[in-house]
Amino acid sequence: MGNRPAAGGGRWVEVDPDRMPRWLSGFAERHGAWAVVGADRVLELRAEDGASAECHAPPGTPHWDGVDEFLAAVPAAGPLGLLLARRGAVAVGVAEGGELVSSKVDSRYVQGRTAAGGWSQQRFARRRENQARAAAGDAADLVARLLLPRVAELAAVVAGGDRRAVDAVLADPRLAPVAALRAERFLEVPEPKLAVLQAAVRQARSVRIRLVDP
């Protein structure tokens, strides 16, 4: 379960869907009985002592209405496509439940930014741009190979890494059906590797809770 500051106050925690009933019991033990104060896309709870919890269902979760349906729906999220990208590195996969059922990881060299000034700065900048464009093209090929054939089955596509790199990959016209499934959730991950992709499945499937203490 993650724990990091949330913009606007409070902190984010990530809870496995199957652990949500236990988490709600612990929330009541710590803060007193709670009541539902909102259930429009986000399950909002308010406890006796004033603590609040905004529970965001994982991408691909079936429609729900109320706490019981929320608890039943979040473990039933459909198959997810995953796209992680950072400068020259990409990881693409399909997850069913908590398992990564297909995946591909690749990397291509893209030089870092050069210091300002110097006679060769523009040449390095052009080279870097060409390398980044080639890397995005290679990544788009992987997405087309792994995700396009299953796009009709996917409940959502979850991206992560560097937003600019992800946007460059999904700008490929072939990937319009994949881009249309892109979820709002964006995963913060290091350089994409197989282990990072496997860990991203759990992140993508978790219930994200913005917890504000009284």
In this structure, are 46 and 144 located in the same domain? no
- Predicted confidence at residue 153, as pLDDT, reads 96
- Predicted confidence at residue 110, as pLDDT, reads 45
Mean pLDDT of all residues belonging to the chain: 89
Whole-angstrom distance, CA of residue 150 vs CA of residue 170 = 16
Whole-angstrom distance, CA of residue 121 vs CA of residue 124 = 5
In this structure, are 118 and 190 located in the same domain? yes
- Predicted confidence at residue 6, as pLDDT, reads 87
> What's the chain's length in residues?
214
- 135 falls in which pLDDT band (50, 70, 90)? low
- 209 falls in which pLDDT band (50, 70, 90)? very high
Give the mean pLDDT of 146-169. 96
In this structure, are 176 and 192 located in the same domain? yes
In this structure, are 90 and 196 located in the same domain? yes
In this structure, are 69 and 110 located in the same domain? no
- Predicted confidence at residue 67, as pLDDT, reads 95
Place of tokens 């809870």: 15
- 8 falls in which pLDDT band (50, 70, 90)? confident
In this structure, are 87 and 42 located in the same domain? no
- Predicted confidence at residue 126, as pLDDT, reads 58
In this structure, are 13 and 72 located in the same domain? yes
In this structure, are 104 and 146 located in the same domain? yes
Percentage of residues in the chain having pLDDT higher than 90: 76
Higher pLDDT, 208 or 137: 208
Give the mean pLDDT of 152-158. 97
Higher pLDDT, 89 or 181: 181
- 102 falls in which pLDDT band (50, 70, 90)? very high
Give the mean pLDDT of 83-110. 88
Among the listed residues 77, 52, 79, the one whose alpha carbon sits nearest the alpha carbon of residue 150:
79
Domain boundaries, position 22: 3-77+206-212
- Predicted confidence at residue 123, as pLDDT, reads 58
Q: What is the pLDDT of residues 45-71, one digit of tens each?
A: 999 999 999 999 999 999 999 999 999
In this structure, are 121 and 70 located in the same domain? no
Percentage of residues in the chain having pLDDT higher than 70: 86
- Ranges of beta strands (E only) in the chain are 3-5, 11-15, 34-40, 42-47, 52-56, 80-86, 89-96, 99-107, 156-161, 182-187, 207-212
Radius of gyration of the chain (CA): 20
Whole-angstrom distance, CA of residue 105 vs CA of residue 145 = 12
- Predicted confidence at residue 109, as pLDDT, reads 44
Give the mean pLDDT of 126-145. 74
